[in-house]
Amino acid sequence: MMSSSSLAAALLSSVVEEHHHSSAKVTVVGTGQVGMAAAFAMVTQGIVSELALIDMVETKLRGEMMDLQHGQAFLRTVKVQASTDYAVSKGSKICVVTAGARQNEGESRLALVQRNVEIFRTMIPQLVKYSPDTILVIVSNPVDILTYVAWKLSGLPRNRVFGSGTMLDSSRFRFLISERLNIAPQSCHGYIIGEHGDSSVAVWSSVNVAGTRLADIKSNIGKPDDPENWEQVHRDVVSSAYEIIKLKGYTSWAIGIMVSTLCNAIMKNQRMIYTLSTLAQGFHGITEEVFLSLPVVIGEGGITSILNQNLSADEARKISESAKTLHQVVIGVKI
């Protein structure tokens, strides 16, 4: 007979207190299209045990949290919490920052800067307060500038603050190359480095398939005199986001998968090489204190190594210019 004790108490005999330490907790700040695509990708791929969502509108937060929770019976269970209070992020292995104004049609990434710096001033110190050992992954644009700002505001060592940078550009690059060669993107290897934006650098000198450099077969690949116009691939990458925004209003899926892949690499200490926005001072002749994308080794300690990538003289010059462009903006930013 049931008295005041609940059904739960009658059904389950407690052996010991429930464990509260989350070994695989990720916080996503910003529940817009990018943040939610990243959250959904992490949940469907089973790479987190706990997910915390933070934003400024409580109704939206609650709706997104419920919508994710209602699919739980079909997935490995993930605890999903959501709040406007940063305390919900406590104990996160990774904090992914997507919050900020969305890039409008025709707007360059650099035009978003000061708006987002103000938002970061509130956000970054709070994330670090509740998860002092966390890794900060910055996605908000302009990502290279904002990763630099996040690093300054966080007080964290440079290995634990990095930006999504050109990880997605490189994925788009490989996809477009794969379309021309009619093989899988995973089998086409190539990197885009530098600014995640108009001055990014396609490293044509090392683009390869099965170790065979395309530049060895076609010496003018990616150059203005190339009759097959492979540099169009790079231009298409740079304009990709703008184009998708024009067509569907925003981008979400590719950046979502990218964030989820990156978080998995950190969680599982994979030591994968991706192009991510990191402190680039000292590389390729860069003297300024700027963040831009270079191929790095990523694992549970964040960025633990930077690849000493061989660049052609032209590519090295371009990246140095990319650094200067970013530095010009950085010095104008009030942190």
Q: Which of residues 217-246 bind other proteins (CB under 8 A)?
A: 217-218, 221, 228, 230, 240, 243-246
Least distance CB 277 / other proteins (angstroms)? 17
Residue 170 binding other proteins, by CB under 8 A: yes
Q: Encoding tokens for residue 159?
A: 């290995």
* Closer by beta carbon to other proteins, 126 or else 270: 270
Q: Is 285 helix (H, G, I), strand (E, B) or coil?
A: coil
Burial class (CB in 10 A: 0-12, 13-18, 19+), 333: middle
* Closer by beta carbon to other proteins, 248 or else 271: 248
Q: Residue 307: which region, alpha, beta or left (left: phi > 0; alpha: psi -120 to 50)?
A: beta
Residue 37 binding other proteins, by CB under 8 A: yes
Residue 66 binding other proteins, by CB under 8 A: yes
Residue 73 binding other proteins, by CB under 8 A: yes
* Closer by beta carbon to other proteins, 240 or else 322: 240
Whether the CB-CB separation of 306 and 296 falls below 8 Å is answered with yes
Residue 125 binding other proteins, by CB under 8 A: no
* Closer by beta carbon to other proteins, 58 or else 314: 58
Catalytic residues: 196
Give dist(CA 123, CA 149) in Å, integer: 12
Give dist(CA 29, CA 88) in Å, integer: 11
Q: Which of 180, 309, 168, 165 is nearest to 233 (CA)?
A: 180
Q: What spatial distance separates the first Cα and last Cα of the chain, rounded to whole Å?
A: 65
Least distance CB 46 / other proteins (angstroms)? 9
* Closer by beta carbon to other proteins, 4 or else 334: 4
Residue 123 binding other proteins, by CB under 8 A: no
> Of the ranges 2-10, 85-93, 155-163, 300-308, which one interacts with other proteins (CB under 8 A)?
2-10
| Cα dist from 180 to 35, 104, 175, 177, 212, whole Å | 31, 30, 9, 5, 16
Residue 83 binding other proteins, by CB under 8 A: no
Q: Which of 287, 281, 274 is nearest to 196 (CA)?
A: 274
Least distance CB 114 / other proteins (angstroms)? 28
Q: Hey, which residues between 193 and 212 contact other proteins (CB under 8 A)? A: 209, 212
Q: Hey, which residues between 246 and 305 contact other proteins (CB under 8 A)? A: 246-249, 251-258, 260-261
Enumerate the H helices of the chain as residue ranges: 7-11, 33-44, 58-69, 113-130, 143-154, 167-181, 214-217, 231-248, 253-267, 313-332
* Closer by beta carbon to other proteins, 151 or else 191: 191
Least distance CB 194 / other proteins (angstroms)? 19
Residue 184 binding other proteins, by CB under 8 A: yes
Q: Residue 106: which region, alpha, beta or left (left: phi > 0; alpha: psi -120 to 50)?
A: left
Least distance CB 56 / other proteins (angstroms)? 14
Least distance CB 191 / other proteins (angstroms)? 11
Q: From the centroid of its chain, how far is CA 236?
A: 20
